[in-house]
Structure 1
Amino acid sequence: MRPFRIRLAIIMMVLIGISVIVAGYTMGRVFKNTHITALEQTMVREINLLKATFPFHDASDPTNAETQKYYSERAVELDRLTDSRVTFINKDGTVIGDSESDPNSMDNHLNRQEIKEAVGQNYGQSIRYSATLGQDMLYVALPVNSDQSDMIELPNGKFDGYIRLSMSLEAVDQGLQQGWILMFFTLGLLFLIVALVSYRVARGLTSPIEHITKVAHRITKLDYDARVDVTRNDEIGQLGLAINGMADSLQMQLKTIRDNEALLQSVLANMTGGIIMIDAGQSIALVNREAERMLGIQAERVTGKLYIELKRHYELTRTIEESVALREPMHEEVSVFNPVEKLIRIDGVPMSEDDGAYRGMLFLLQDVTAIRRLESMRSEFVANVSHELKTPVAAVKGFAETLLSGGVQDKETERSFLQIIYDEGDRLNRLIGDILELSKIESKRAPLQCSPVHVHSFFEMVLGTLSKVAEKKEIRLEMNVPEELYIEADEDKMKQIFINLLSNGINYTPEGGRVKLQVTVEHNEDEEEVVFAVSDTGIGIPKKDLPRIFERFYRVDKGRSRNSGGTGLGLSIVKHLVELHHGKLAVESELGMGTSFRVILPLIQDEEI
């Protein structure tokens, strides 16, 4: 309890000191006001006495020198009798006599405070600093009209204006000043004694409180490592322990909040699906990174705004609008354009508090464009495979049934039927082989087995394989390949690439045409690349078909392709094998002029391959 008593004693001393100061100040003000009021009433009585006894002179012309002289002399006489400055003021504010100054040098007094108060009252008064005398003065003025007063006046005497007395407040101020000096000296001595006694006690109390305050300020600025050094067991020590406990609790809670927030942000940022949250006010509360990418928006620009900010995605906005209106789960697929068309699956669920209060809608966006395209490609692939397999199987079955029924007696016809069965079986075998090869490549079950390949020798072997087919059609094969060029690649897969491209060139080039292979090395900033150009003088490919020629089973001229023995999978296999080598594939063609395929492969494959 001792610290409490010390604090109470300090508070009492402060209160006593304040009370004494306030009382002294109040007494000084009362003394001053009372003295001024007494002076004011005395001056009013003196002016009233002047009104009744003063011999007024005609003052109708305030600028008249005789008039000013008369009233100035009388003012001087009255100043000696009343010990006050006397001023005679005409009704229009012109000074016509003053005991201390020349009336001609004095300005108009109509706007002086005491004159304005005297207009509507019995008298007017004001206290202000006199620049002429250099001290505070009390001014009292009364209106005087000699025609309306029972006063003694000179013949033809007429005065209509104001009589003003003024007295210095210097004596009052000096008395107050002496009282203030005495009071402050006494209080100063008293407080000096009290201060010397209480200094150590006050310091002992304020120092730990200041320390606690500084620590509290550091905690408010999120410095949760700040702690109070507790060295005492009283109430202040308990307060320090409480502050430390609060800081420990806040630090733990903030760490938990930050960890949870970081985890949530990481989950949202790395989700493969887009997230959009619409709050109860129909404003966008949250947009994650994937949703930004899908919709081509920026979270900082749309967050906090109404969901209609997504209006350029009409179907999405309409779906969100319906879901927000119904506040029910929904599942739909919509198309958005950013900049190409994408198919987005949107799943919406309403959010609510534990008490059931509605908080908004949460929407999950999934880009299902590739999935739907893959489903379509699979369906198309199955249909194409079924069709491609059915044709040779039907041919084999038909000719075999004819032979088994004994309907063919001619050996030459029988031989031609058997040849057709053989050719269709061979075609069926190649088709199945190509399908299996393409499936293996697409499923990544055909890794590259890279080794240095001597390009010139490699193409001599490839062209040698195809030379007999070219000779039958009288097609000239040309090769322009550097002698000392090596490339790091899978030789078997390279053979598949170029046999397919060169075979197509031979098959679709009329007799007497030309198929040319040219190899060059190009240098760019990152690496060296080898460019393989396979060109022919064949029938060419229409421009509308160029974007699709690498699709499975796509044929520009279906009848011609079948007659040439093609399966429709060759260019698709080429595309996948080139990509497997981290290369690029391009095609240029003009109807009737020929086609040119460009295969660009890195000179050296990356180590990761």
Structure 2
Amino acid sequence: MHKFRWRLTLIFIVIIGCSMLLAGVYMAKLLENSYKDALVLNMERELKLIIATIDWNHGGSDEEKEHYYTEQARRLKDSAAARITVIRQDGQVIGESDEAPELMNNHLDREEVRQAKESGLGHSVRYSKTLGHNMLYVAMPIGTGDDSAGYLRLAMDLRDVENAVHTLWLFLLLGLGVLFLIAGGISYRIAFGLTRPFDKMIRVARQLSHMNYKSRVPVRRKDEIGDLGHAINTMADSLEQQMNRILENEGRMKAVLEGLINGVLMIDKDGRIALLNRSAEEILGFRQEELLGRHYQHASLAPELSELIEMCFGSMEHIRDERTLYFPEEILLEINLRPMVIGGEEFAGILIVLHDITAVRRLERIRSEFVANVSHELKTPVASVKGFAETLLAGALKDEETAKSFLQIIYDESERLNRLIGDILDLSKIESKRVPLQLSPVHLNSFMDHTLQMLAPEAQKKNIELRLQVEEDLYMEADEDRLRQIMINLLSNGIAYTPEGGKVSVTVQALNVVNGEDPETIRFVIADTGIGIPKKDLPRIFERFYRVDKARSRSSGGTGLGLSIVKHLVELHKGHISVESEVSVGSRFILDLPVLH
């Protein structure tokens, strides 16, 4: 804009300067011509006075006339302040104030003489070789018509006039110079005033190009420049709104991409990785900085994924496949690759969605195993009931002793079947979070006393000693029924797998007690002197239908779901359960539950 401002200033200066120069030249010429016209007019009056003063009918020879007119010319020269020349009608000089007439040329062809002959008055400016400078010549006929005796001419030196004109030109040039400076300043000020709004508009346009959409043009004028400023501000408002909308949509899209559980990967038409979200980073084991901008063949992607990308580029069709990746960990993925087309024609790249189905497949496997285990567990008592019922129908009813024994077995198996179905339903409800906890304060001393009393008959059958150790006045917040279910399951297992004459103990104590304040955690330890659990089986004892000794478990009436139910109930109470065991020595189940929820 500075260049344009200076160009505009220069244009103004040239226009103003040329105008002033032309005006100055015109004025100088006008003054010069006016001065010359005034001289001509003055000399005309003097010519008329001289013509009226001299006797033009003087007789005598040519020499006498020449002498007479020359004397008269010299006499009048000082009063006229001009050179006087008397010219005969044929152009011969017969009187001269400065030169000898006989030495001078014929003057009939001189411009001023010709004009005087034609119009009665003639004048011209001519360089005088005799004097060496410009002279103004004015001539007038002496007499009129045929009575004309010749011509009288005055010649005035123009050096004074030229000096005056030169002085005028000097002052004119000095004035023009000063006016040029003033005009330059005024022109620059005008150019600055005209271009300043454009400077602001350019500044705002640059700010907009640098994505500063808050910048605006201050508009104080109501002319076309003001309209242009309003137009730029309107455009800036529109750009700001559109950019805010774009940024908002971009933020939403980024939030959606980052929040997706599925990995999203985008390959552009040149095969370079253009986009991937956080889930894709976790699945592939690379950060964005390591993959973005790199060709997929050089990005160290899993060979299985690179192969599918190559296939999609070749077929340009949607591909869906399941592949197992082994880096950074073994994972089963459902991979969807779809070519992206812009405007229905232009190929833009490939969009890849990575869906981790490892857990789904594991759940399907667990479900299949669960169905198989349930079928097996249900089949066993049903087969027993059916077998003994068929035997009774076949005639065993006649033997009262045998019939009673068979009916007792049928009753036991039906009870076992009822317990199994009940445990399955309980476990299903607990796993699906359909069992809300009914939390209430529980006094652990009375609670554990009552629980052990419920199991005392079962323990007495095997002569097993039940021991209880609880700190005084210990309370916690829990679902009393579910907590009792946990304790009954653990104590029942301890009684079932402890030989006769053994011991089962329960210890309840407070943990994380600081400076006499209320405890944060309650620890339950259920220990027995039973057969113990082998170390290899410890990690799996909380799985559904897992039994260390299947034959003994069935003989004890267990369903294989008790510990799994315990684990889920403990987790519902936001607690933790662990087990320590040694074969032939016994087991210790350690249960930590929070005091408050």
Q: TM-score range by the shorter chain?
A: 0.5 to 0.7
2:230 corresponding residue in structure 1: 241
1:395 corresponding residue in structure 2: 384
User: What SS does structure 2 have at the residue aligned with 1:224?
Assistant: coil
Distance 1:405 1:471, change over 3 A: same
Matched, 1:529 2:521: yes
Matched, 1:222 2:211: yes
Distance 1:220 1:339, change over 3 A: closer
Q: CA deviation at 1:233?
A: 5.2
Q: CA deviation at 1:569?
A: 0.7
Q: CA deviation at 1:305?
A: 1.8
Q: CA deviation at 1:199?
A: 5.0
Distance 1:532 1:309, change over 3 A: farther
1:342 to 325, 331, 350: 331
Q: Could you tell me which amino acid in structure 1 is paired with residue 319 of structure 2?
A: M
1:558 corresponding residue in structure 2: 550
- Identical aligned residues as a percent: 54
Distance 1:577 1:353, change over 3 A: same
Task: State the distance in 1 between where 2:269 and 2:233 align.
Answer: 40
Task: State the distance in 2 between where 1:8 and 1:477 align.
Answer: 109
Matched, 1:280 2:279: no
Q: CA deviation at 1:498?
A: 1.0
User: What SS does structure 2 have at the residue aligned with 1:534?
Assistant: strand
Task: State the distance in 2 between where 1:309 and 1:535 align.
Answer: 59
2:528–2:587 contact (8 Å) kept in structure 1: yes
Q: CA deviation at 1:362?
A: 0.7
Distance 1:233 1:470, change over 3 A: closer
Q: CA deviation at 1:339?
A: 5.5
Distance 1:491 1:338, change over 3 A: farther
1:449 corresponding residue in structure 2: 438
User: What SS does structure 1 have at the residue aligned with 2:477?
Assistant: strand
Q: CA deviation at 1:366?
A: 1.4
State the Cα deviation string for residues 153-182 of structure 1 (Å, max 9, x = none).
Answer: xxxxxxxxxxxxxxxxxxxxxxxxxxxxxx
1:302–1:309 contact (8 Å) kept in structure 2: no
State the Cα deviation string for residues 175-207 of structure 1 (Å, max 9, x = none).
Answer: xxxxxxxxx999964531322553553343233
Matched, 1:476 2:465: yes
Q: Could you tell me which amino acid in structure 2 is paired with residue 266 of structure 1?
A: A
Q: CA deviation at 1:532?
A: 0.9
2:506–2:525 contact (8 Å) kept in structure 1: yes
Task: State the distance in 2 between where 1:493 and 1:588 align.
Answer: 23
Q: CA deviation at 1:529?
A: 1.0
Distance 1:14 1:444, change over 3 A: same
1:255 to 241, 244, 248: 244
Task: State the distance in 1 between where 2:284 and 2:535 align.
Answer: 32
Alignment of 1:307-326 (within 5 A): 307-308=296-297, 311=300, 313-326=302-315
Q: CA deviation at 1:256?
A: 2.3
1:539 corresponding residue in structure 2: 531
Q: CA deviation at 1:371?
A: 1.7
Task: State the distance in 2 between where 1:387 and 1:254 align.
Answer: 65
Distance 1:319 1:456, change over 3 A: farther
State the Cα deviation string for residues 504-523 of structure 1 (Å, max 9, x = none).
Answer: 11111222222221122211
Q: Could you tell me which amino acid in structure 2 is paired with residue 335 of structure 1?
A: T
Q: Could you tell me which amino acid in structure 1 is paired with residue 427 of structure 2?
A: L
Matched, 1:419 2:408: yes
Task: State the distance in 1 between where 2:360 and 2:230 align.
Answer: 62
State the Cα deviation string for residues 383-420 of structure 1 (Å, max 9, x = none).
Answer: 11111111111111111121122235332211111110
2:475 corresponding residue in structure 1: 486
* Structure 1: stretches of 5+ with no match in the other structure: 1-5, 20-183
2:73 corresponding residue in structure 1: none
1:546–1:587 contact (8 Å) kept in structure 2: yes
User: What SS does structure 2 have at the residue aligned with 1:592?
Assistant: coil
User: What SS does structure 1 have at the residue aligned with 2:588?
Assistant: strand
Distance 1:312 1:361, change over 3 A: closer
Alignment of 1:98-113 (within 5 A): none
State the Cα deviation string for residues 283-342 of structure 1 (Å, max 9, x = none).
Answer: 211111222233333223321123346636443344334334433211122223566533
Distance 1:543 1:335, change over 3 A: farther
Alignment of 1:179-218 (within 5 A): 189=178, 191-218=180-207
Task: State the distance in 2 between where 1:307 and 1:564 align.
Answer: 61
Distance 1:577 1:9, change over 3 A: closer
Matched, 1:501 2:500: no
Matched, 1:363 2:362: no
Task: State the distance in 2 between where 1:377 and 1:422 align.
Answer: 31
State the Cα deviation string for residues 428-451 of structure 1 (Å, max 9, x = none).
Answer: 111111111111212222111111
Distance 1:505 1:357, change over 3 A: same
Larger radius of gyration: 2
2:576 to 558, 576, 584: 584
Q: Could you tell me which amino acid in structure 1 is paired with residue 11 of structure 2?
A: M
Distance 1:225 1:576, change over 3 A: same
Alignment of 1:117-128 (within 5 A): none
Q: CA deviation at 1:589?
A: 1.7
Q: Could you tell me which amino acid in structure 2 is paired with residue 218 of structure 1?
A: Q
Q: Could you tell me which amino acid in structure 2 is paired with residue 12 of structure 1?
A: I
Task: State the distance in 1 between where 2:401 and 2:577 align.
Answer: 47
Task: State the distance in 2 between where 1:562 and 1:205 align.
Answer: 103
Matched, 1:597 2:589: yes
Task: State the distance in 2 between where 1:338 and 1:524 align.
Answer: 45
Q: CA RMSD in A?
A: 3.0
Q: CA deviation at 1:272?
A: 2.6
State the Cα deviation string for residues 326-382 of structure 1 (Å, max 9, x = none).
Answer: 332111222235665332211111112225222221111112222222212221111
User: What SS does structure 2 have at the residue aligned with 1:393?
Assistant: helix
Worse overlay, 269-278 or 232-241: 232-241
Alignment of 1:289-328 (within 5 A): 289-308=278-297, 311=300, 313-328=302-317
Distance 1:340 1:576, change over 3 A: farther
Alignment of 1:90-101 (within 5 A): none
State the Cα deviation string for residues 196-251 of structure 1 (Å, max 9, x = none).
Answer: 55355334323333333333343334332333344445553343233223323322
Q: CA deviation at 1:7?
A: 10
2:523–2:590 contact (8 Å) kept in structure 1: yes
Distance 1:366 1:587, change over 3 A: same
Distance 1:603 1:234, change over 3 A: closer
Q: Could you tell me which amino acid in structure 1 is paired with residue 567 of structure 2?
A: K
Equivalenced residues, count:
437
2:280–2:354 contact (8 Å) kept in structure 1: yes
1:311–1:317 contact (8 Å) kept in structure 2: no
Return the TM-score normalized by structure 2: 0.67
Distance 1:297 1:522, change over 3 A: farther
